[in-house]
Amino acid sequence: MWRLDGSASRCALRAGLLAVACVLRLGAVAQAPPLNIDEVRYLVVTHHLRTGLGYDNWSGPETHVHPLHPILTALAEDGSESLESRGRAVTLAASVLLLWPVALLAGRLGGALALDVVLLLGAVHPWLVRAAAAVQPESLYAFVVGCALCLLLPSGEGAVPARRWWGAGLLFGLSYLARPEGFLVGLLACAVAFVQGGGRHAGVRRLAGPALFLVALALSAAPFLIYLRRTSGQWIVTGKTAHVFFFNQALASEDDPWEAWRIYKDLRARYDSPFSYAAAHPREVLVAATRSLPRLAFSTLPRSLGPAGLVGCLACAALFLSRAES
């Protein structure tokens, strides 16, 4: 399952692509831009963890930043390197390791050629290369999710063993500790794996694997969920939900960022949660959602994929379809 099979020439090609990926990512780290405010926030909480001040930012308990990246940065060897350098090193390592589960998934789903195409795309894609230098958890999140998805792929007999359900649940819990969407993605992956071949048994026995997954997911994510409950007074998945929701509402009604910021602060002062605002203004919420979706589908997503990404996705889709028909 975890082995990249292939001829000697294919192995040499893949080794070359990995070398190119490492060189490009090292170059991105060497030419990294200055820290932005989000990266500073990650380093502040990391510094507080290292010095025993708790999981806090400059104003109190940190609820926007999830803890996996700060914890790994705090655990990095304490040498002459700055905290910023150690944070970038954690991201760099995750960015390189990410290619492994992504290649495995492509190989299992589309064959050797799909593996090579995806490995090439992952090695050289500009957004992935730039992300390797950021003091943020996107690369780490993608690596953990990739490993979890590898565990949920059915075996040759069409079944996912119990130990792999358990391991995938633990990994998706870790992905939630990196990014809040890890929880939702994990539940979706569990449902898809169950429908597509979560087990050969009928009835209650077939539910054993997903049940193990959910227990492992809950156990892995529980420490931060309990922390959020204690600091916020309510059960929430992330402290950033209200911030993102209300700022999106402000942007939907005002394009000027400074005016949108004023509207955002007014909304935060008047409403205690997104639910209370949505109950009072369902039409405005719907308008904001319909305005955001086209921007995501026709602007953000195509730019993130880029020409190489779009070609790569089409090539892999063709390979997957041709393999399914054979």
The DSSP secondary structure of 125-147, one letter per residue, reads -HHHHHHTTSSSSHHHHHHHHHH
Return the closest-CA partner of residue 161 out of 189, 134, 199: 199
- Residue 34 DSSP symbol: P
Could you tell me which residues come within 8 angstroms of residue 277 by beta carbon, excluding any fewer than 6 positions away?
Answer: 245, 246, 249, 267, 271, 285
Could you tell me which residues come within 8 angstroms of residue 231 by beta carbon, excluding any fewer than 6 positions away?
Answer: 61, 63, 239
> From residue 13, how far is each of 20, 119, 153 by CA, in Å?
11, 10, 25
Q: Is the Cα dihedral 163, 166, 169, 170 positive or negative?
A: negative
> What string of H, E and C letters represents the secondary structure of 50-84?
HCCCCCECCCCECCCCCCHHHHHHHHCCCCCCCHH
Cβ atoms of residues 284 and 267 within 8 Å? no
Distance CA(93)–CA(236), nearest Å, equals 30
Maximum CA extent, the chain: 65
The DSSP secondary structure of 199-262, one letter per residue, reads -S--GGGGGHHHHHHHHHHHHHHHHHHHHHHHHHSS--S-TTHHHHHHHHHHHHH--SHHHHHH
Return the closest-CA partner of residue 111 out of 9, 8, 10: 10
Predicted model pTM: 0.88
Q: Is the Cα dihedral 110, 111, 113, 117 positive or negative?
A: positive
pLDDT in tens, the chain (326 residues): 556 666 888 899 999 999 999 999 999 999 999 999 999 999 999 999 999 999 999 889 999 999 999 999 999 877 667 899 999 999 999 999 999 999 999 888 888 888 998 899 899 988 899 999 999 999 999 999 999 999 998 766 567 889 999 999 999 999 999 999 999 999 999 999 998 874 455 666 788 999 999 999 999 999 999 999 999 888 899 998 888 889 888 888 887 878 988 999 999 999 988 889 999 999 998 988 888 777 766 776 777 777 767 776 777 677 767 766 66
